[in-house]
Amino acid sequence: MSEKKRILTGDRTTGKLHLGHYVGSLQNRVKLQDEYESFILLADIQALTTHFEHPELLEHSIYEVAMDNLSVGLDPNKITLVQQSRIPSIGELTVFYSMLVSVNSLRHNPTIKTEAANYGYNDMTYGFLGYPVSQSADITFCKANLVPVGEDQKPHMEMTRKIVRRFNELYGETLVEPDMMLSDCPRLMGLDGNAKMGKSLGNAIYLSDPAEEVRKKVMSAVTDASRIKKDDPGHPDICVVSKYHKVFNGGEYENICESCKKGAIGCVACKKALAASLNDLLEPFREKRAYYEAHRDEVRDIILTGSEKANKIGNETVKEVKEAMHIYIGD
Ligand code: TRP
Percent of the chain with pLDDT over 70: 99
Which amino acid appears at position 138 of this protein? Answer: D
Mean pLDDT of 267-272: 95
Sheet strand arrangement including 37-43: 80-83, 37-43, 6-12, 146-148, 179-181
Q: Assess whether pLDDT exceeds 80 at residue 1.
A: no
| Ranges of H-type helices in 99-153 | 103-107, 110-119, 126-129, 131-140
**pLDDT bucket at 93, cuts 50 / 70 / 90:** very high
46 lines ligand 1 (CB under 6 A): yes
Return the C-alpha torsion angle 75, 142, 4, 179, nearest 10. 100
**Closest C-alpha to 268, from 227, 306, 309, 301:** 227
Atom 5 (ligand 1) nearest CA: 11
94 lines ligand 1 (CB under 6 A): no
Atom 15 (ligand 1) nearest CA: 11
146 lines ligand 1 (CB under 6 A): no
142 lines ligand 1 (CB under 6 A): no
149 lines ligand 1 (CB under 6 A): yes
299 lines ligand 1 (CB under 6 A): no
Mutate to test the pocket of ligand 1, among 8, 11, 32, 139 (most ligand atoms within 8 A of CB): 11
139 lines ligand 1 (CB under 6 A): yes
Mutate to test the pocket of ligand 1, among 134, 156, 181 (most ligand atoms within 8 A of CB): 156
> In whole numbers, what is the pLDDT of the chain averaged over residues?
95
Q: What is the pLDDT of residues 99-139, one digit of tens each?
A: 999 999 999 999 999 999 999 999 999 999 999 999 999 99
Q: Give me the residues paired with residue 144 across strands.
A: none
The pLDDT, as a whole number, for residue 2 is 58
Q: What is the pLDDT of residues 13-37, one digit of tens each?
A: 999 999 999 999 999 999 999 999 9
Q: What is the pLDDT of residues 164-213, one digit of tens each?
A: 999 999 999 999 999 999 988 878 999 998 888 888 788 999 999 999 99
CA distances for 28 relative to 11, 23, 38, angstroms: 14, 8, 11
Question: Distance (Å, rounded) from C-alpha 167 to C-alpha 178?
Answer: 14
41 lines ligand 1 (CB under 6 A): yes
- DSSP strands (E only) in the chain: 6-12, 37-43, 80-83, 146-148, 179-181
Q: What is the pLDDT of residues 229-248, one digit of tens each?
A: 888 899 999 999 999 999 99
Q: What is the pLDDT of residues 139-152, one digit of tens each?
A: 999 999 999 998 89
Question: Distance (Å, rounded) from C-alpha 43 to C-alpha 131?
Answer: 11
Q: E strand or H helix at 320, and its extent? A: helix 296-324
